[in-house]
Amino acid sequence: MKIAMTRRELLAGLAASPFLVGEAAHPPFERIDTHIHLNRSAPEILAGFRQTRWRALTICVSRATGDEPSDLDEQLLGAAKLHRESNGLVSWAASFDARPFERPDFAETTIAGLKGWFNQGAIAVKIWKNIGMGIRAKSGAYLMPDNPALFPIYEAIQKQGKTLVAHLAEPDGAWLPLDSTNPEVGYYSKHPEWYQYGRKGAPAKEEILAARDRVIAKYPKLRVVGCHLGSNESDLPALGKRLDKYPNFAVDMAARVRYLAAGDHKAVREFLNRYQDRITYGTDFVWRTQTEQQAWQSVQTAHERDWNFFAQSSDMSYHGHPTQGLGLPEKLLRKIFYDNPVRWFPGIV
């Protein structure tokens, strides 16, 4: 029988109810960030995760859309390495380059590649918004998520028992005028390539989401986790309808907690309560050129800020906007931050 408690265990116990802020904020369970982009060796970040009792899913993204070179191989090798070095604390999601989808050997080559990454521990496969918003056929038509060229790949992911991570479409702001009322004015000013408002021939947001939904319906045994509240960040009732309709669909809240913070908290609490088995937490932190120390600081700041938003009920500031914490009960917090990731991403612990 274990008698002695470490200081951290003692603090975690004391902090259990209500959860305190800062050093003693650790709840009595591990938390999992299901959406982060580290994808290389990160000894200091791993030490930080251990100290703050976080785990993470690091996600590779095939960003190349036109004929620019791809950095996907570097990400895949880096993510597999980080996974190994972390002793399982960080699990990882592979991805594939969908640009050659018209080549006759596309599915076969892609599936062989993915199987190689599954052998190196990948537990999920990410598809990105360049499907539906960027990659085109020779005819000029946009590659949509339900293009039959992708079916054998979805089938293979389902057969291997892995999870499909789907960032498809974008926030409503991509299809709205770019003025100060657009909540994404900052992002699309810097990334005009993803700004679709008035773009001729570009599929509407609902068309992309409908194509995604057809995939979810076609493969009922495929677990699909929709990134960023499944791109229904501004319409929780619409998201709820989709979750009701597709039991194999869940969503992460990565980079969209700010919408919840700015929204009607009664409705947000009701939503989180009603779909408490279908939601995971993620930061969407991307490690670019920062030092590892700076990267860890950013991750830790995001973790603390978001945890406080969900767990506390006091006044706080979220991205400079005054708000109040949701003060969710421990049972819900445990589901969002631990149980749901375990269930939707088998192999994450």
Minimum CB–partner distance for residue 96 and Zn ion (Å): 16
The three-class DSSP label of residue 285 is strand
Minimum CB–partner distance for residue 188 and Zn ion (Å): 16
Minimum CB–partner distance for residue 167 and Zn ion (Å): 6
Cis, peptide link before residue 18, omega less than 30° from 0? yes
Our CB check for Zn ion shows the closer of 146 and 284 to be 284
> In the beta sheet, which residues pair with residue 108?
none
Contact window for Zn ion (CB under 5 A) among 20-28, 45-53, 113-121, 283-291: 283-291
Nearest CA-CA partner of 254 in 151, 165, 122: 165
Our CB check for Zn ion shows the closer of 325 and 341 to be 341
Q: Are strands 315-318 and 321-324 parallel, antiparallel or unpaired?
A: antiparallel
Minimum CB–partner distance for residue 154 and Zn ion (Å): 20
- In this chain, which residue has its C-beta nearest to Zn ion? 284
Minimum CB–partner distance for residue 99 and Zn ion (Å): 19
Our CB check for Zn ion shows the closer of 284 and 306 to be 284
Our CB check for Zn ion shows the closer of 33 and 284 to be 284
Nearest CA-CA partner of 46 in 85, 78, 79, 74: 85
Contact window for Zn ion (CB under 5 A) among 10-18, 276-284, 311-319, 331-339: 276-284
Q: Which residues contact 312 (CB under 8 A, 6 or more apart)?
A: 18, 19, 21, 325, 327
Our CB check for Zn ion shows the closer of 61 and 236 to be 61
Contact window for Zn ion (CB under 5 A) among 75-83, 240-248, 281-289, 336-344: 281-289
Our CB check for Zn ion shows the closer of 12 and 227 to be 227
Contact window for Zn ion (CB under 5 A) among 77-85, 102-110, 209-217, 277-285: 277-285
Our CB check for Zn ion shows the closer of 26 and 126 to be 126
Q: Which residues contact 67 (CB under 8 A, 6 or more apart)?
A: none
Binding characters for Zn ion, 226-245, by CB under 5 A (x = yes): --------------------
Our CB check for Zn ion shows the closer of 312 and 340 to be 340
- Residues 3-38 as b/e (b if ≥16 CB within 10 A, e otherwise) read eeeeeeeebbeebeeebbbeeebbbeebbbbbbbbb
Among 284, 303, 309, 312, binds Zn ion (CB under 5 A): 284
The answer to whether 213 contacts Zn ion (rule: CB under 5 A) is no
Minimum CB–partner distance for residue 297 and Zn ion (Å): 19
Minimum CB–partner distance for residue 68 and Zn ion (Å): 19
Dist CA 3 CA 187 (whole Å): 52
Dist CA 46 CA 54 (whole Å): 9
Dist CA 168 CA 228 (whole Å): 9
- Count residues near Zn ion (CB under 5 A): 1
Minimum CB–partner distance for residue 36 and Zn ion (Å): 8
First to last CA, the chain: 24
Helix (H) or strand (E) holding 59: strand 54-59
Please give the residue ranges that form the binding site for Zn ion (CB under 5 A). 284
